[in-house]
């Protein structure tokens, strides 16, 4: 992870944000870490299929498992 002093970060902030790596930047003051800048997680461009291979469907999704008679009088 890249480390940069606060004064240098202030002077180059916009350029550093344009080239921000996935692991981010640690900002230091007097050699001690005071902050970490991380890229904001991006949403997938398409929602359809975004969870493919991330979830598992178990059981029958088309029934509740209960039997009922639609014609029965209550």
pLDDT mean by block of 10 residues, the chain; 74 residues: 95 95 96 96 77 84 82 75
For the chain, the domains span 2-37
Q: Please state, in angstroms and rounded to a whole number, the distance separating the CA atoms of residues 6 and 32.
A: 10
pLDDT at residue 4, rounded to an integer: 96
pLDDT at residue 57, rounded to an integer: 83
pLDDT at residue 74, rounded to an integer: 63
pLDDT at residue 17, rounded to an integer: 94
pLDDT at residue 16, rounded to an integer: 95
DSSP the chain: -EEEEHHHHHHHHHHHHHT--TT-EEEEETTEEEEEE-PPPPPPS-STTTTTTT----S-TT--S----TT---
């Amino acid at each position: 992870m890249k480390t940069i002093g606060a004064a240098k970060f202030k002077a180059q902030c916009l350029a550093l944000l344009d080239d921000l790596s996935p692991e981010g930047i640690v900002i230091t003051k007097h050699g001690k870490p005071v902050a970490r800048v991380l890229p904001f997680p991006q949403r997938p461009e398409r929602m359809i299929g975004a969870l493919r291979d991330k979830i598992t469907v178990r059981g029958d999704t088309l029934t509740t498992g209960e039997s009922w008679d639609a014609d029965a009088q209550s």
